[in-house]
Amino acid sequence: MGDRSGTPIGDGAGTGLGDLLRSATQTLAGTGVPSPRADAEALLAHALGMPTAEVRRAALLGRGVGDRERAAYEQLVAQRAARVPLQHLTGEAHFRTLTLRVGPGVFVPRPETEVLVDLALAELAEPATYDRARPVVVDLCTGSGAIALAVAAEHPAAKVHAVELEEDAHAWAQANVTATGLPVDLRLGPAQQAFPDLVGAVDLVLSNPPYIPPGSVPVDPEVRDHDPAAALYGLGEDGLQVPLEVAARAAELLVGGGVLLMEHADVQGDDIVQRLRSTGHWAAVEDHPDLTGRPRVVRAVRARP
Ligand SMILES: C[S@@+](CC[C@H](N)C(=O)[O-])C[C@H]1O[C@@H](n2cnc3c(N)ncnc32)[C@H](O)[C@@H]1O
C-alpha cells in the first residue's frame, strides 16, 4: 500500500482517515458508547469493505476517503451514536471461531457465553462420561445458533440439535446454519416441549435462556432497546421461570449421568442451585464462575433412574 499513501479510498478529493476517525470517536464518546475508538474503526472498516487492521494502517499513512464513502460512514456513526448495536450495523457478531449473522430480532451473542462453550467442550473431552462415538448435544433457546454452532465447529464428533421459540431469531439461526455449513439440526418451537424424539437420549444440554427479572430493565440502550424482550426476560418474579422450565425439559431429555450447563445472572447463582437440587432430578448441582469470578453457569448431573 506504500505507493498509494495519500490516495483517497473511493471518489472525490477525500477527507483524511485520521481526522474522520478522531471526529467519529468523539461523537460516539459523547453519547456514552463504551468503546468509541474501536467502534469508529470497526464501522469505517465496514463502510470501506476493508479489514480493521488495514483501516488503521491507511489512517497512519495519511490516506483519505471519497465523499460517497464518507457520507455512508457518517450515517453509520450517527446510528451508532443513537446506540444501535455495532453488530446490527455491521451485520455480524464474532463468537469463538465463528462470525455469525445478526440483526434486529435476534440476541447478539456475548463473550461471557463463550465460557459456557468452554465448559461444554471440557465435558465432551471427558471420556468416562462421553464415550459414545457421537455424543448427542442439545442447545435449548439457541437465538442466533451461537452455542450449537460453536460446539458443532469445535467438537465435530458431536451430534448437535438446537431449538428456538421466536420465528425471527430462528430465521437468523437458520441463516447461520446455512452460512457456516455446520451440521446442526435446528427446530422452531418452545424449549419446554422440544425434541420429543430425543427424550432420555441426550448426553449434554446447553442453554443460555432469558433470565433477567422483570424489574431489572437493562441500562444499556443497545440491550434494552434492541435485544428482543423474549431473549432477555426470564418471567416469574425472579426471572427464573423460563430457566427452571428449561432445566425441567433438560431432565427429561438427558440420559442418566448426562449434564446440563445453563447460564444465569450472577445474583441468581445460589437460588438456581437450591431450586434445581430441590427437584430431585439431579445427582449433583454446582455453579461455575465466569472469568471475573462471578457465578454464571450452573452444572447439573442427571440422576440415574
Ligand atoms: C439470552 S438469548 C440467548 C441466545 C443464544 N443462546 C446465545 O447465547 O446467544 C435467549 C433466547 O431464547 C429464546 N427463547 C425464549 N423463550 C424460549 C422458549 N420458551 N423456548 C425456546 N426459546 C426461547 C429467545 O427468543 C432468545 O433467542
pLDDT tens per residue across span 133-154 = 899 999 999 999 999 999 999 9
Report the separation in Å between the CA atom of 276 and the middle of ligand 1, taken as the mean of its atom positions: 20
Last residue of a domain, one of 82, 105, 136: 82
Residues 6+ apart with CB under 8 A from 287: 269, 272, 273, 295, 297, 298, 299
Same domain (yes/no): 129, 20: no
Contact 207, 140 (CB under 8 A): yes
Last residue of a domain, one of 57, 82, 107: 82
Which pLDDT score is estimated for 305? 75
Residue whose C-alpha is closest to residue 252's, from 288, 285, 279: 279
What DSSP string runs through 170-224? HHHHHHHHHHH---EEEEES-GGG--GGGTT-EEEEEE----B-TT---SSHHHH
Q: How far apart are CA 92 and CA 100, in angstroms?
A: 5
Same domain (yes/no): 108, 76: no
Which pLDDT score is estimated for 290? 82
Last residue of a domain, one of 62, 82, 102: 82
Q: Is residue 88 part of a domain?
A: no
Which pLDDT score is estimated for 291? 78
Number of compact structural domains in the chain: 2
Q: Is residue 145 part of a domain?
A: yes
How does residue 132 score in pLDDT terms, banded at 50, 70 and 90? confident
Q: Is residue 87 part of a domain?
A: no
How does residue 4 score in pLDDT terms, banded at 50, 70 and 90? very low
- Residue 176 CB–ligand 1 contact under 6 Å: no
Same domain (yes/no): 75, 98: no
- Mean pLDDT over 74-93 rounds to 97
Same domain (yes/no): 122, 78: no
Identity of residue 12: G
Tell me the three state secondary structure of residue 236.
coil
Report the separation in Å between the CA atom of 166 and the middle of ligand 1, taken as the mean of its atom positions: 8
Q: What CATH number did the domain enclosing 125 receive?
A: 3.40.50.150
Same domain (yes/no): 97, 185: yes
Report the separation in Å between the CA atom of 231 and the middle of ligand 1, taken as the mean of its atom positions: 5
Q: Is residue 209 part of a domain?
A: yes
Alpha carbon nearest to ligand 1 atom 27, residue: 143
Bridge-based pairing of strands 15-16 and 64-65 is antiparallel
Same domain (yes/no): 50, 159: no
How does residue 12 score in pLDDT terms, banded at 50, 70 and 90? very low
| Domain span holding position 30 | 2-82
Q: Is residue 178 part of a domain?
A: yes
Which pLDDT score is estimated for 289? 87
- Residue 173 CB–ligand 1 contact under 6 Å: no
- Mean pLDDT over 182-208 rounds to 98
Same domain (yes/no): 140, 289: yes
Same domain (yes/no): 280, 248: yes
Q: What CATH number did the domain enclosing 11 receive?
A: 1.10.8
Q: How far apart are CA 43 and CA 264, in angstroms?
A: 31
Q: Which of 149, 165, 241 to mutate to test the pocket of ligand 1 (most atoms within 8 A of CB)?
A: 165
Neighbours of 40 (CB within 10 A): 26
pLDDT of 17-76, one tens digit each?
A: 999 999 999 999 999 999 999 999 999 999 999 999 999 999 998 888 888 899 999 999
Work out the mean pLDDT of the chain and round it to a whole number: 93
Q: Which residues are annotated as a binding site?
A: 164, 208-211
Per the model's pLDDT, the better-predicted residue between 245 and 10 turns out to be: 245
How does residue 14 score in pLDDT terms, banded at 50, 70 and 90? low
How does residue 126 score in pLDDT terms, banded at 50, 70 and 90? confident
Same domain (yes/no): 183, 248: yes
- Mean pLDDT over 271-289 rounds to 95
- Residue 191 CB–ligand 1 contact under 6 Å: yes
Which pLDDT score is estimated for 250? 98
Q: How far apart are CA 13 and CA 137, in angstroms?
A: 56
Q: Is residue 266 part of a domain?
A: yes
- Mean pLDDT over 87-104 rounds to 97
How does residue 9 score in pLDDT terms, banded at 50, 70 and 90? low
- Residue 252 CB–ligand 1 contact under 6 Å: no
Q: How far apart are CA 18 and CA 22, in angstroms?
A: 6
Report the separation in Å between the CA atom of 109 and the middle of ligand 1, taken as the mean of its atom positions: 11
Same domain (yes/no): 119, 70: no
Q: Which residues are annotated as a binding site for substrate?
A: 208-211
Same domain (yes/no): 111, 234: yes
Which pLDDT score is estimated for 1? 37
Is pLDDT at 293 greater than 70 in this prediction? yes
Q: Which residue has the cell 430425543?
A: 198
Same domain (yes/no): 132, 233: yes
Would you put residue 262 in left (φ > 0), alpha (ψ -120 to 50) or beta? beta
Distances (CA, A) of 157 to 43, 72, 270: 37, 44, 34
How does residue 7 score in pLDDT terms, banded at 50, 70 and 90? low
